[in-house]
Structure 1
Amino acid sequence: MRTAYTVDTVRAAERDLMARLPDGTLMQRAAAGLAAACADLLGRVYGSRIVLLVGSGDNGGDALYAGARLARRGAGVTAVLLSPDRAHPGGLAALRRAGGTVARPGTAGQHIDRAHLVVDGIVGIGGRGGLRPDAAALAERAAAARAAVVAVDLPSGIEPDTGEVRGPAVRADLTVTFGTHKPGLLIDPGREYAGSVRLVDIGLDLPAEGELEALQHADVAALLPRPSAESDKYRRGVVGIAAGSARYPGAAVLAVWGALRGGAGAVRYVGPAGKAVIARFPETLVSDQGPGRAGRVQAWVVGPGAGDDAGPVAEVLDSDVPVLLDADGLRLADRDAVRARTAPTLMTPHAGEAAALLGTAREEVEGARLPAVRELAARYRATVLLKGSTTLIAGPDGGTVRVNPTGTPWLATAGSGDVLSGLAGSLLASGLSALDAAGAAAYVHGLAGRHAADGAPAGAHDVAEAIPAVWRDISGA
């Protein structure tokens, strides 16, 4: 599992470590890792032209010391000092001793245009807000040049704790981050600016729980349900699907499809799309008597393609089993009924639906995804899976938020969310907590999207079909 920590936590860990180390050791560790990453990206260091964009803080010092290491290997290294009187003195002296130079006033653009590599050491994790005009001009020049851009710890201009971009910011091809991931590297829009991320271990002692955590293969493999010799279809869990309408029968089919691939022993379908469901999946237990008369289930999924019929949503919310609310269910649900539930509730909005639930603009949710998912979870006393370019999952207790590292833009297709809802509901029915069911489902669904698309357009049904192969890969079967 990858864990990301806030600036305050990282700073505290750095202070504790520096108190036990000789002066300057931590910066040298960071600079060594940064120089190695730059060398790997260049391929050939000797004769390459490198420009350092150097701010006034330790971030600039990291860049200068790394530049000195690269200059000793034969690179032509030029530092552009944004605040010449405040540049890190030790780093600047090291660069000059190694043969590096400082750009003369007015020549920064020329050096950037000729560079093979530009290193962004303008501001680090202590920065807030967008870049100032002089720095923004250099970032724009670097983006227009043919050089690769490497960010030191975090692209300058990105909010480190949230991934928000509140003004001009550096767009990096590679970000070399030190000690631990920062939330802004894992959450869009900041993640988009970071490019590839390389973590350099500098010896920080960090707490077990961070601000964010990203599941990996081994974590998800441990969560996915496996039947035992004593299992039968009921012991494996039964998931109920209350979805679809005369206008949207396909939503019901896709939700059932996802549920059947999610490991539950049986799927009960309730709604007006029963004929379409049974024609595609004859193993489904179909009822038209409403959720209360459908039979025993261990979890409900309600809302995909439901149209304007609020009755099934209210009936499901009144049950005493875990409930996943999606799509029309989010709009039709009585909000007080959601808050009053004692059994777990999992809500799966996209940014537009989240904005409606919060009473704000979609752009605000997309620009500040982490605060939005936390606020939704707290306001509705539910676990919330916020779908989008970065999928985030927050619990009602305000603990660590999960970020899903899988997925592809090809998943932005009609019905994809219905498949995800069925998959997550099936995992809920198998006994996983709302947080674990959401995290595992998002991970599997994202990989299935990659597998189905393989660089080309794919439909929601392709994603559902790809789930078994992905499941086997994750579990090592």
Structure 2
Amino acid sequence: MRRAASALAGVIRERLTDAASPRVLVIAGSGDNGGDALFAASELGAGVAVDVLAVGSRVHQDGLAAALGAGARQVSVDAAAAAASGYTVVVDGILGIGTSPDPALRGAARDAVARLLDTMGDGMPRRTVAVDLPSGLQPDTGVADDVVLPAAMTMTFGAVKAGLVIGRGPDLCGELVLVDLGLGPGLADEEPAGEASVTRILEA
């Protein structure tokens, strides 16, 4: 997880380069994607203001402790919505490949995404970096909920998930960056679901 988070942090820092006062919102769900996002937040360094919005039934405690220890602050959905226009980057760490066949966001996660989309409008997708896949997108089928976070960039780990290249995946994932975790040999006999437009491959 820490290797993946370091790669994610590097990509986020690239998107902060031109910002005079960079500010990041990390939306963290209950699972490993939330942990990846939180550990990445802890590595962004001085000068980057980080807000953490936890939207799951629980939060990755070690990741949260690392982020808060590095200076992040935990905020409510009301505070995040009020500050939405000031975020340079929004990190979508809500759901990953462990989602059910129905990809719909629920509860606090759905409310938070709906509020932020309503507040930021077209500005939200241009700022969002998705962890593994955009939340609300089904990883196997590319089916997507009506409340989904479109991404400017999706950093996916190990292999490109089928849902990123079929259905609504290509319209929602933005630039696709693959973090190589050494899974290539084990996937050599798998039939590709579609053509993946990977712009970069990073080593973790």
d(CA) in 1 for partners of 2:77, 2:165:
36
| Amino acid of the structure 2 residue aligned with 1:122 | I
Deviation at 1:190, TM superposition (A): 1.8
d(CA) in 1 for partners of 2:196, 2:179:
19
Q: Which residue of 2 aligns with 1:103?
A: 75
| Amino acid of the structure 2 residue aligned with 1:49 | R
Deviation at 1:202, TM superposition (A): 2.5
Q: Which residue of 1 aligns with 2:55?
A: 82
Q: Which residue of 1 aligns with 2:149?
A: 170
Task: Flag structure 2 segments of 5+ consecutive residues without an equivalent.
Answer: 198-204
Q: Partner of 1:198: helix, strand, or coil?
A: strand
| Amino acid of the structure 2 residue aligned with 1:181 | V
Across the aligned residues of Structure 1 and Structure 2, the Cα RMSD in angstroms comes to 2.1
Q: Does 1:59 align with 2:38?
A: no
Q: Which residue of 1 aligns with 2:202?
A: none
| Amino acid of the structure 1 residue aligned with 2:52 | A
Q: Which is greater in Rg?
A: 1
Q: Which residue of 2 aligns with 1:191?
A: 170
More contact order relative to length (CA 8 Å, sep ≥ 6): 2
- For the 8 Å contact 1:68–1:96, the answer to whether it is kept is yes
Q: Which residue of 2 aligns with 1:236?
A: none
TM-score normalized with structure 2 length: 0.83
Deviation at 1:166, TM superposition (A): 4.0
- For the 8 Å contact 1:113–1:145, the answer to whether it is kept is no
Q: Which residue of 1 aligns with 2:129?
A: 150
Q: Partner of 1:36: helix, strand, or coil?
A: helix
d(CA) in 1 for partners of 2:48, 2:139:
31
What fraction of aligned residue pairs are identical, expressed as a percent?
38
CA gap 1:175/1:405 in 2 versus in 1, 3 angstroms: closer
Q: Partner of 1:106: helix, strand, or coil?
A: helix
CA gap 1:145/1:78 in 2 versus in 1, 3 angstroms: farther
Deviation at 1:104, TM superposition (A): 3.7
Q: Which residue of 2 aligns with 1:36?
A: 10
Deviation at 1:203, TM superposition (A): 3.0
CA gap 1:67/1:145 in 2 versus in 1, 3 angstroms: farther
Picking from 178, 182, 186, the partner of 1:206 is: 186
d(CA) in 1 for partners of 2:195, 2:55:
37
Deviation at 1:47, TM superposition (A): 3.0
Q: Partner of 1:90: helix, strand, or coil?
A: helix
Q: Which residue of 1 aligns with 2:200?
A: none
- For the 8 Å contact 2:113–2:149, the answer to whether it is kept is yes
d(CA) in 1 for partners of 2:46, 2:181:
23
Q: Partner of 2:123: helix, strand, or coil?
A: coil
d(CA) in 2 for partners of 1:31, 1:46:
24
The one-character-per-residue Cα deviations of 1:116-163 (angstroms, maximum 9, x if unpaired) are 110000111111321115323332424526350010000011110111
Q: Does 1:121 align with 2:93?
A: yes
Task: Flag structure 1 segments of 5+ consecutive residues without an equivalent.
Answer: 1-26, 213-400, 407-477
- For the 8 Å contact 1:56–1:87, the answer to whether it is kept is yes
Higher helix proportion, which one?
1
Q: Runs of 4 or more off by more than 4 Å in structure 1?
A: none
The one-character-per-residue Cα deviations of 1:190-224 (angstroms, maximum 9, x if unpaired) are 22111111111223352312241xxxxxxxxxxxx
The one-character-per-residue Cα deviations of 1:345-373 (angstroms, maximum 9, x if unpaired) are xxxxxxxxxxxxxxxxxxxxxxxxxxxxx
TM-score normalized with structure 1 length: 0.37
